[in-house]
Structure 1
Amino acid sequence: MEATCSKKLWQIVSVLRCRNSSITHLHVYGTTAGPRDEVMQKVIEEVKENDEVMVLRVNCYVNHRSHKLFCQGLYNLLPHSKSGKKIENLESVFEECKAELQYVKSVVMVIVLNNSEMLLNFPPSFLQALFSIPKKVLHLFLDVVRGGTLLQCYNARKSKLKGAVKLVSVARLPWTRFEITEHISSPVQFAFEALSKGEVQEALSARLNFDNNFVRCMLDMVYSVCRDLNQLSYIIEKLWDTGTSDENWANSAASNKLKTCYTARGQNRTDELFYRSEKRPVEDGQTFCLSTSAKYLLIAAYCASYNPPNSDRRFFTKNHGKQRRRVPTTKGLRNNLESAHETGPKPFPVQRLLFIYLAMLEKHDMRNHCAADIHAQVAELCAMGFLNRVSADGNLDTPKYRCIATFEFSEQLARTMGIEIRDFLIDFSS
C-alpha cells in the first residue's frame, strides 16, 4: 500500500509541475479512513518547493451555495487581490488568475478544490464552465510556446498570458457521481482505498512514536467505530496522557497488561466520543450526495409510491376545485385509507413520476433550475438503492418503479429543500 501511494503521489506531482501537459483536471477520491488527505498534503508540499508552481486551496464547504461566493472566494486567495473588488463570474476570476501570473515567478497555477462533493449543488452549466476554461487557457499557452502564429502571439500578449491553470478536485466520490446528468469533464482519477487494520496500526505507530502494544490495544477498542487516522491519533494521544499520570503505568507497560489496565478508562472516553443522544441534529441538506433535481425526483417518487393515483389531482394541480376526500363512515374504511405506509410502497409508471416531478418544480419555482434528463436521474437513483424497477427489462414503453426509501429519510430530505412532505401524502392529510 505504501509503495502504491508513493507511486500515485509522484504521478500527481509530475502532472502538476509539467506546464506543457495537456491534463488540466485531476480528481483524487477516497474516504477519510484512507491515505487520501495525507498524500494530498505531501503533494502540495512537494509542488510548493518549485517556484514555478502556485497552489490555491479552496474549501467548497464554505462557498457552495452561491456562484458569486465561490468566484469571490477564489479571487480572494490570490496574493495580489484587491480588497473590496467584486468578482461575480468565472471568466473574471480566470482573467485575474492570468494577471496574477505576471506578478510572480510561477508558470502553473494549481487550484485544489477540497470537499468537491459540494459542487453537485451547482448546475451542470457552471461546472462545465469551471472545468473547461483552464483547457482554453492551456491550449492558447501551448500554441504560443510551440511557436504559434503571429495572431496567437499577439492575442497571448494582449491577454497577458504567461502560464497554465490546473484544477485538482478532492472528494469521497468517484467522478462518475459528478456526471449524473451531463458530461462535465474527463479528469485523470486517482483512487485511494481504505487502509487495513494492520496498515492503520503501522501508520499510527510511525506517527505517534508510542508503544506498539498500547497502540494495538487502543485500536482494538475503537477500530469498529472510527478508522480516520487524524481522529485515531487524537484519541490515542489523549489516552496516552491519561496513562502517563497513572502510577501503575510503568508496571503495566512492563508486564504487557495494557488492555486490562486501560480498557475501562478507554471505554469511557470512547463512549463520550461516539455515543450520542437519541435527539437527531438538524441537517442542512448537504450530507445528501444528490443534485437538486435528483432530490426533487426522489421526493416525487415517494409521493407516487404512497399516494393513490386519484389523489394526484388534489395534491399536485392548481384549481382542482372543491375536491375533498370523503369522510369514511366506518372504522374499517378509515383504517384502509390510512394504511398506505403499513402495506408498503406501490409501483408507479414513469409518466406519473414525471407529472408529479414537474408539478413540484413548478410549485417551488425550480423549473428553470432543474433541466436534467429524468431517465438518467431515475437510473442513478436505482443504482443508489432509492428506487427499484418492478417492470420487466423488455418493457421500454411504460417502465414501472417503486420507491424503497424510508419515510424518515424522505422527510428529512424534503425538509432540507423547504418541503413538508406530510402535506403531499394522503395518510397525513386532513
Structure 2
Amino acid sequence: MSGMEATCSKKLWQIVSVLRCRNSSITHVHVYGTTAGAKDEVVQKVIEEVKENDEVMVLRVNCYVNHRSHKLFCQGLYNLLPHSKPGKKIENLESVFEECKIELHCMKSVIMVIILNNAEMLLNFPPSFLQALFSIPKKYGGTIKLVSVARLPWTRFEITEHISSPVQFAFEALSKADMHSWLNSSIKGEVQEALSTRLNFDNNFVRCMLDMVYSVCRDLNQLSYIIEKLWDTESNDGNWANNAASNKLKTCYAVRGQNRTEDLFYRSEKRFVEDGQTFCLSTSAKYLLIAAYCASYNPPSSDRRFFTKNHGKQRRRSTVTKGLRNNFESAHETGPKPFPVQRLLFIYLAMLEKHDMRNQCAADIHAQVAELCAMGFLNRVSADGNLDTPKYRCIATFEFSEQLAKTMGIEIRDFLIDFSS
C-alpha cells in the first residue's frame, strides 16, 4: 500500500468513526478535493461502511439539482425519506428536519447521515439559509449529521460571514503512480477477471490507457469508465487481444482507438442540415466568419496551400512532411490563434473568388469585423490603440462554423489543416 492509499484509508475510517458516534457533538463534516483525487471514491466507501450498521440511515442529496430555491431544496430532501407522503409540502428547514427525526423513530434507526454532493452549489443560497441548514441539526443531539462534499475548502463558503465549523478532510490530487495503483484495485467484475486471469496483462493495460489520457483526464470515475468500455468493445477481437498480450498496446490503440478518440473530440458525426436553417448574418459576414475560423485554426504557412490556385509545389512539400505533422499538437486542441486583419482579408477574398461571390459581397470588411465582434464570434486581442495592424481571434465553435459553412455549400474541413489529408 502506497503512502497516499494509507492516508486515504486513515481518513476513511476517521470519517466513519465520526458518523457512527451517537453522542458526538460533531454534526457537520466537510470533504473536499479535486476530481483528480480520491474524494468521491472515499465518500462512496464511507457510505458502504456506514450502511452496514442497521442503526445508521443515509440520504444522498444532489445539490446541483436542488439549488434553485429554498423550497425546492427542502422538498427534495423530504422526498428522499422512505416514508415521505406524496403531495405533502415542506417549505422550510425546521419542518424537514422534524420529518427526519420522525423518520428515525419509524425506521428504528439512531443516526441519520445526509450526504450533500456538489455542495459548492449551496453558494447560490444566502448565508442565513446555510447557517440554518448546518445549525438546526445540533438540536437533535448528534442524531442528524451532514456531510458536505465539494471541490472547495470550507473557507470558500464563508467569504462574508461565519456559517459553520465543520471537521474537514482534504484529498489531494493523486500522482500518476498512485492513480495507476488505485485503478488496478478499483476495477471489478468481468473486466478485472478477464484482465488478470485470461490475458494476465492488467497492469500493462491500465498503465497504457493511463498514459494515453492522463494529460486530459484525471477523474478516477471517468478513467475507470474508459478502460472498461475499451475492453468491452475490443476484447472480442482476437488480433487486438494478441497485440495487447504481447505488450503492443500502444501500437494497437493507435491503430484501433485513435479514430474513436478523434471522433469523440471533434464531434464528427454527420448531421443533416435543413434547407430552411438560417443564421442572422449577411452573406458577406458568413464568408468572413468562415475565413476567420480558418485563420484561427490554420498556421499562416498553410494559406498558400488552401487559398491559392497554383500551389503544386507547396502540396508536394506537404506530402513529404505529412508524417511529421503528427508530432505537433492539433490546432483544435491548443485553441484558436490570433491573426492580423490583412491575413483575414486575403482568406476572405480567396473564398469569395473560389465561390464566384466577389461581386455580390462588396461590403466593408472592417464594418463586418466590428459586427462579428459585437455578436461574440470574434475577439480583438490587440490593443485598442493599434489601428495599423489589429489582430483578432475567432471564438466561434467548430460545430457552429461547420453548420454555417454547410448552409453556404462549403465543406469547412477541406480548408482546415487538422482534417485535410
- TM-score norm. by structure 1 comes to 0.56
Deviations 1:272-299 (A, max 9, x none): 3344689999999999999999999999
Report if aligned partners of 2:93, 2:132 keep a CA contact under 8 Å in 1.
yes
| Greater shift in the superposed pair: 366-375 or 407-416 | 366-375
Deviations 1:51-95 (A, max 9, x none): 221111111111100100100111111111111110000011111
Aligned residues: 405
Q: CA deviation at 1:249?
A: 2.9
Deviations 1:294-313 (A, max 9, x none): 99999999999999999999
| Greater shift in the superposed pair: 353-362 or 296-305 | 353-362
Question: Which residue does the alignment assign to 1:10?
Answer: 13
Report if aligned partners of 2:28, 2:166 keep a CA contact under 8 Å in 1.
yes
Q: CA deviation at 1:47?
A: 0.7
- Say if 1:291 and 1:251 are closer, same or farther in 2 by CA, change over 3 A: same
| Greater shift in the superposed pair: 61-70 or 315-324 | 315-324
1:419 maps to which of 392, 410, 416: 410
| Greater shift in the superposed pair: 395-404 or 87-96 | 395-404
- Say if 1:257 and 1:294 are closer, same or farther in 2 by CA, change over 3 A: closer
- Say if 1:357 and 1:248 are closer, same or farther in 2 by CA, change over 3 A: closer
Deviations 1:342-388 (A, max 9, x none): 99999999999999999999999999999999999999999999999
- Say if 1:340 and 1:11 are closer, same or farther in 2 by CA, change over 3 A: closer
Report if aligned partners of 2:273, 2:407 keep a CA contact under 8 Å in 1.
no
Q: Secondary structure of the equivalent of 2:315?
A: coil
- Say if 1:359 and 1:15 are closer, same or farther in 2 by CA, change over 3 A: farther
- Say if 1:318 and 1:20 are closer, same or farther in 2 by CA, change over 3 A: farther
- Say if 1:428 and 1:294 are closer, same or farther in 2 by CA, change over 3 A: same
Report if aligned partners of 1:285, 1:416 keep a CA contact under 8 Å in 2.
no
Q: Secondary structure of the equivalent of 2:320?
A: coil
CA distance in 1, matches of 2:9, 2:282: 34
Report if aligned partners of 1:35, 1:195 keep a CA contact under 8 Å in 2.
yes
Q: Secondary structure of the equivalent of 1:191?
A: strand
Deviations 1:100-143 (A, max 9, x none): 1221221111111011111000000000000010112xxxxxxx
Q: Secondary structure of the equivalent of 1:256?
A: coil
Q: Secondary structure of the equivalent of 1:167?
A: strand
Report if aligned partners of 2:382, 2:391 keep a CA contact under 8 Å in 1.
yes
Deviations 1:20-40 (A, max 9, x none): 111110000112221111111
Question: Which residue does the alignment assign to 1:258?
Answer: 249
Report if aligned partners of 1:25, 1:131 keep a CA contact under 8 Å in 2.
yes
1:192 maps to which of 171, 191, 198: 171
CA distance in 2, matches of 1:241, 1:194: 28
Q: CA deviation at 1:242?
A: 3.7
- Say if 1:336 and 1:148 are closer, same or farther in 2 by CA, change over 3 A: closer
CA distance in 1, matches of 2:241, 2:317: 78
Deviations 1:317-340 (A, max 9, x none): 999999999999999999999999
CA distance in 1, matches of 2:167, 2:359: 32
Q: CA deviation at 1:243?
A: 3.1
- Say if 1:174 and 1:96 are closer, same or farther in 2 by CA, change over 3 A: same
CA distance in 2, matches of 1:226, 1:403: 26
CA distance in 2, matches of 1:244, 1:312: 44
Question: Which residue does the alignment assign to 2:148?
Answer: 169
- Say if 1:428 and 1:207 are closer, same or farther in 2 by CA, change over 3 A: closer
Report if aligned partners of 1:32, 1:228 keep a CA contact under 8 Å in 2.
yes
Q: Secondary structure of the equivalent of 2:115?
A: strand
Report if aligned partners of 1:28, 1:190 keep a CA contact under 8 Å in 2.
yes
Report if aligned partners of 1:338, 1:426 keep a CA contact under 8 Å in 2.
no
Q: CA deviation at 1:248?
A: 2.0
Question: Which residue does the alignment assign to 1:285?
Answer: 276
CA distance in 1, matches of 2:135, 2:353: 31
| Greater shift in the superposed pair: 329-338 or 32-41 | 329-338
CA distance in 2, matches of 1:313, 1:243: 42
What percent identity do the matched residue pairs reach? 92
Deviations 1:128-180 (A, max 9, x none): 000010112xxxxxxxxxx999xxxxxxxxxxxxxxx1100001111111011
Report if aligned partners of 1:120, 1:289 keep a CA contact under 8 Å in 2.
no
CA distance in 1, matches of 2:163, 2:370: 18
- Say if 1:19 and 1:340 are closer, same or farther in 2 by CA, change over 3 A: closer
- Say if 1:303 and 1:256 are closer, same or farther in 2 by CA, change over 3 A: closer
- TM-score norm. by structure 2 comes to 0.57
Q: CA deviation at 1:10?
A: 0.5
| Greater shift in the superposed pair: 31-40 or 342-351 | 342-351
- Say if 1:65 and 1:282 are closer, same or farther in 2 by CA, change over 3 A: farther
Q: CA deviation at 1:7?
A: 0.5
CA distance in 1, matches of 2:124, 2:275: 13
Structure showing greater Rg: 2
- Say if 1:279 and 1:339 are closer, same or farther in 2 by CA, change over 3 A: closer
Q: CA deviation at 1:268?
A: 1.9
Q: CA deviation at 1:253?
A: 3.3
- Say if 1:392 and 1:77 are closer, same or farther in 2 by CA, change over 3 A: same
Question: Which residue does the alignment assign to 1:348?
Answer: 339
Q: CA deviation at 1:231?
A: 1.3
- Say if 1:418 and 1:192 are closer, same or farther in 2 by CA, change over 3 A: farther
Question: Which residue does the alignment assign to 2:180?
Answer: none
CA distance in 1, matches of 2:170, 2:226: 27
2:380 maps to which of 378, 384, 389: 389
Q: Secondary structure of the equivalent of 1:65?
A: coil
| Greater shift in the superposed pair: 354-363 or 68-77 | 354-363
Q: Gaps (5+ residues) in structure 2?
A: 177-188
CA distance in 2, matches of 1:348, 1:123: 45
Report if aligned partners of 2:32, 2:150 keep a CA contact under 8 Å in 1.
yes
| Greater shift in the superposed pair: 5-14 or 272-281 | 272-281
- Say if 1:286 and 1:417 are closer, same or farther in 2 by CA, change over 3 A: same
Q: CA deviation at 1:240?
A: 2.0
CA distance in 1, matches of 2:357, 2:370: 21
| Greater shift in the superposed pair: 45-54 or 7-16 | 45-54
Question: Which residue does the alignment assign to 1:148?
Answer: 142
Deviations 1:215-252 (A, max 9, x none): 22222111111111221122222222343233323432
- Say if 1:133 and 1:234 are closer, same or farther in 2 by CA, change over 3 A: same
